[in-house]
Amino acid sequence: MEKEKTLKIEKIKKGTVIDHIPVGRALKVLKILNIEGDIGQTVSIAIHVKSQKLGLKDVIKIEERILDSSELNKIALIAGGATISIVEDYDIVNKFEVEIPNEFSGIIKCSNPKCITNSNERVKSRFVTVSKKPLILKCHYCEREMEGEEIEENII
């Protein structure tokens, strides 16, 4: 099993491997990374892959692209437990699990239409993580709590 995993990751020369995505979530991850149509880079997607750790998982490999912290935070919100491997010259130079920050701003929209962050005031959204499992977020301004699909639907 370990060997199989290594082989899969070694296929790309340079870029990012997002592994251990909860099964069925790969397309949502692509959507939040704005990967649709031809983005000029090779993207490989494996859905419903056998995994020792999860039973089943999805895997995405993106060549020539390194994700920024806001993208990693978004992945943490919709695919908790996913691991990121940064690949250079077929070698993994960095590997870590995505982590939901305790507080963050600008990556999701508050679902309360009356919230100041949805007004014309140009206030950037800001959330506090109330619970990671299950995931519950609370708006810093209006205190609206969001969870599950509501979070996914409001990712910017």
Question: 75, 74, 98: which is closest to 85 by C-alpha?
Answer: 98
Taking the complex as a whole, the smallest distance from the CB of residue 32 to Zn ion amounts, in Å, to 20
Q: Judged by CB under 5 A, does residue 139 bind Zn ion?
A: yes
Taking the complex as a whole, the smallest distance from the CB of residue 123 to Zn ion amounts, in Å, to 9
Taking the complex as a whole, the smallest distance from the CB of residue 133 to Zn ion amounts, in Å, to 23
Toward Zn ion, which CB reaches closer, 137 or 139? 139
Neighbours of 91 (CB within 10 A): 12
Q: DSSP letter string over 53-115?
A: TTEEEEEEEEET----HHHHHHHHHHSTT-EEEEEETTEEEEEEE----SEEESSB--S-TTS
Q: Judged by CB under 5 A, does residue 12 bind Zn ion?
A: no
Question: 98, 93, 83: which is closest to 15 by C-alpha?
Answer: 93
Burial category of 113 from C-beta neighbours within 10 Å (exposed 0-12, middle 13-18, buried 19 and up)? exposed
Taking the complex as a whole, the smallest distance from the CB of residue 143 to Zn ion amounts, in Å, to 7
Toward Zn ion, which CB reaches closer, 105 or 112? 112
Toward Zn ion, which CB reaches closer, 82 or 139? 139
Site string for Zn ion, 87-116 (x = CB under 5 A): -----------------------x-x--x-
Residues that bind Zn ion (CB under 5 A): 110, 112, 115, 139, 141-142, 144
